[in-house]
Structure 1
Amino acid sequence: MDVLFLENLVINFLILYVTSIFSKVRVSSLRIAVGAAIGASYVAVLILLPGMKVYGTIIAKLLLSAGIIAITFTPEKLKSFLKVLAMFYVSSFIFAGAAFAFIYFNQSGGFVRNGIVYVFWRYKLTVLVLSLMMVGIVVKILIEIIQSRTKEKYLMPIKISFEDNVIELAALVDTGNSLHDPLTNMPVIIVEYLAIKDVLPADIQDIFKESKENDLDNISRVISNSKWFSRFRLIPFMSIGKDNGILIGFKPDYIEIGKDDEKKGVKDVVVGICNKTLSRNEGYRALLNPELV
């Protein structure tokens, strides 16, 4: 029983960890370990104790899965719960497929009891490690495919016009960007400073070069004497680790979103300048508010 428990504890921990990655819900390792221990205990008792067939039914297993997800991830909404539960089953199927592939090639024996498959492996540790390696490769490939397709779907070319200057760059439609100018309620596009600096006046560039975009006194002094005074905006925002952030924004002449026959011109918009890199590989340099698409 102890060996069976430990094996399932490791596998369940990894399944829940992968579930966390797929569902993008961060939880502590302790909570994952608790959920894994519950699942491992259930399997060990189900296989080794007689008269437990009722707990091996589909309904019982569904209830167990729901309980593990509720305890590990504590989703607040039904939609979030179902999403995490679905990712849990996807992760489980990936692990099961990898394990059965090696079982087949290794020609191992085993038995089925109460709906649970238990396998005898001559080189159990080796097969387990190989299975985990295969799962790691599959998960990595799936994540890269999903991320790349998601980005391609939501990447759009945009043009930003300031006076006689036009900046062209790629933007990601970011569903998490719900920023609006508090005075005019115009939607905000977040753009990297380095992508837009050439069209900014020298005094405005100095704010970002010296990393003083959070110094309100300095910003007020510079902006009050700038030719861009009428364009100036201050946009409050909240993000992880920063409850009261301020984004410097400017009103462009207009922006153009999309390409060819799908081009869309927008004037009622504010460009918020971010002094950080938005994409590691520079696949995009701006974040579009979904309202603009």
Structure 2
Amino acid sequence: MKVYIDVLVMENIVMNYLILLLTAKFMRHKPSHLRLFLGALAGAAYVVVLLLMPNLKVYCTTLAKFALSLLIVAIAFSPAKPALFIKTLAVFYVSTFIFAGAAFAFLYLNQTGGFVRNGIVYIWNSKGTTLFFAVATVGIIIRIFWDIVQQRISKEKLLMPLKIAFGNGTIELFALVDTGNSLCDPLTNSPVVVVEFNAIKNILPMEIQRIFDESKENDLDSVTKIVSDSKWMSRFRLIPFTSLGKENGMLIGFRPDYIEVGENAEKKGITDVIIGIYNRALSKNNNYSALLSPELI
């Protein structure tokens, strides 16, 4: 049986790169393609060492392969915190299992298509169709898996910590990641986060608070006059909407200094956003006080 090193290296670089790319997608990382390639190359180099030096049993041990995983994740993603490193490593293993499952499936379906030895999966085909179909199958599996995950997230009403800063005040609350929230500011096209008035009241100017306290948010003449007389006029705008139980409605919105979404290592700061003020409860059980667009996480 002949094994061509160039084919083996090429296959492993391609597969490792796709595994790392999938890991990045699941983790919502945006590493450079160079880092992903270098991580894939490290994995391919390990395979070549195993092939050329089969008597070095130490490289075939579980500990050695675990150390390789740590090296690949460090090269490709360089997570700053231990918790993020462990999470990225776990997702990397899940991605690897998905690709490995597809590779094994094709080996069993096509007995002349490759072999497995010392943890090395070697797939060959004169036209390269075996590897192509393996990758295509993984793509389909990932697509189905991703849709299921997104549906599950939607059903479970994923909650995210949200911090809003405006003027000298900040508030912290929980927001629901709402796939149906596609509101945008018509002037700047910035995404809109819908927030309950009672949750955000304390950081709003007094004149804006009076609009909602007196339930005048639908009186456009009063709103226009009050906002135009406010020193914060440039920060406020009117946002049309056709949801939240009302058609052709209008939200009063404002541009905050910034918002922070998430927590710990996954915290994300955003300035290009508008806060839309809603004068009703968004949650029946008070689990959240805002609706967050998925594009902001």
Q: Scaled by the length of structure 1, what TM-score is found? A: 0.65
Bigger mean CA offset, 235-244 vs 94-103: 235-244
Letter in 2 for 1:255: A
Q: Distance in 1 between matches of 2:13 and 2:126?
A: 19
Q: Distance in 1 between matches of 2:120 and 2:172?
A: 58
For 1:97, the equivalent position in structure 2 comes to 101
1:202 is matched with which residue: 212, 217, 220? 220
Q: Distance in 2 between matches of 1:48 and 1:91?
A: 27
User: Deviation string for 1:43-92 (max 9, x for gaps)?
Assistant: 01211234222111100000000010011100011111111111111111
User: Deviation string for 1:204-254 (max 9, x for gaps)?
Assistant: 988xxxxxxxx95545799xxxxxxxx9976321479986557456473x5
Where in structure 2 are the equivalents of 1:1-293 lying within 5 Å? 1-108=5-112, 112-113=116-117, 115-119=118-122, 121-123=124-126, 125-154=128-157, 173-179=158-164, 182-183=168-169, 185=171, 187=173, 192=183, 200-202=218-220, 218-219=234-235, 235-238=256-259, 244-245=271-272, 247=274, 250=277, 252=279, 254-258=280-284, 263-264=285-286, 278=293
User: Is the 8 Å Cα contact of residues 112 and 118 (structure 1) preserved in structure 2?
Assistant: yes
Q: Distance in 2 between matches of 1:93 and 1:84?
A: 14
Unmatched segments (≥5 aa) in structure 1: 155-172, 207-214, 223-230, 281-286, 288-293
Percent identity over paired residues: 35
Letter in 2 for 1:175: M
Unmatched segments (≥5 aa) in structure 2: 186-191, 195-215, 225-230, 239-251, 262-267
Q: Distance in 1 between matches of 2:90 and 2:136?
A: 23
Indicate the SS of the match to 2:120: strand
The count of residues paired between Structure 1 and Structure 2 equals 235
Q: Distance in 2 between matches of 1:92 and 1:111?
A: 18
TM-aligned CA distance change 1:111 to 1:52, over 3 Å:
farther
TM-aligned CA distance change 1:81 to 1:52, over 3 Å:
same
User: Is the 8 Å Cα contact of residues 237 and 247 (structure 1) preserved in structure 2?
Assistant: no
- RMSD across aligned positions (CA): 4.2
TM-aligned CA distance change 1:116 to 1:186, over 3 Å:
closer
Indicate the SS of the match to 2:257: strand
TM-aligned CA distance change 1:84 to 1:203, over 3 Å:
farther
Q: Distance in 2 between matches of 1:120 and 1:149?
A: 35
Q: Scaled by the length of structure 2, what TM-score is found? A: 0.64
